[in-house]
Amino acid sequence: MPKRPARNEKNRDAQPQLPTPPEAATPSVTRVLPMQLQVGDRLTDETGGYEVIGRPFTTAGGKTATVRVKRIDTDVQMIRTYGAHERITVSRASTEESER
C-alpha cells in the first residue's frame, strides 16, 4: 500500500496566485479621508473643481468633517461638509512640485 503524503505537503503547488491590484490612472490621484486633506489639494465632483484652502476640522463628535474650499475657475469660497468615513478622490501635488 502506498504511503499517503502529510497534510502540509499535499497540494502545495496547487494554490492559485492572487490577482494583482489594478494600476492607478495617475500616481498623483489618491483617495483620502476628509481629515487627511491638505491645503492645495484639488478635488472634483458633479458641481465642479475645488482647491482646498483651509485645514479640515470635525464636528458632531468627529462624525462630520468640514473643509474650506475655493472654486478653481472663480474666486468663490465655500465650506464643504463630508461624512468622516467617506473617501474623497483628490489630485495632490507631488513633493517635488511643492518644494519648487
Length of the chain: 100
pLDDT of the residue at 21: 72
pLDDT 10s digits, 37-54:
899 899 988 888 899 999
Please, what are the domains in the chain? Answer: 34-91 (2.30.30.30)
Instruction: Give the span between the Cα atoms of 69 and 42, in whole angstroms.
Output: 9
Per-residue pLDDT of the chain (100 residues; tens, 9 = 90+): 677 766 665 555 666 778 877 665 555 778 888 888 899 899 988 888 899 999 998 888 888 999 999 999 898 999 999 998 888 888 887 644 444 4
pLDDT of the residue at 65: 92
- What is the chain's Cα-based Rg? 23
Q: Which long-range contacts (CB under 8 A, 24 or more apart) does 54-59 make?
A: 58/84
Q: What is the pTM of this model?
A: 0.62
Instruction: Give the span between the Cα atoms of 22 and 89, in whole angstroms.
Output: 16
Q: Which residue in 96, 100, 99 sits closest to 28, CA to CA?
A: 96
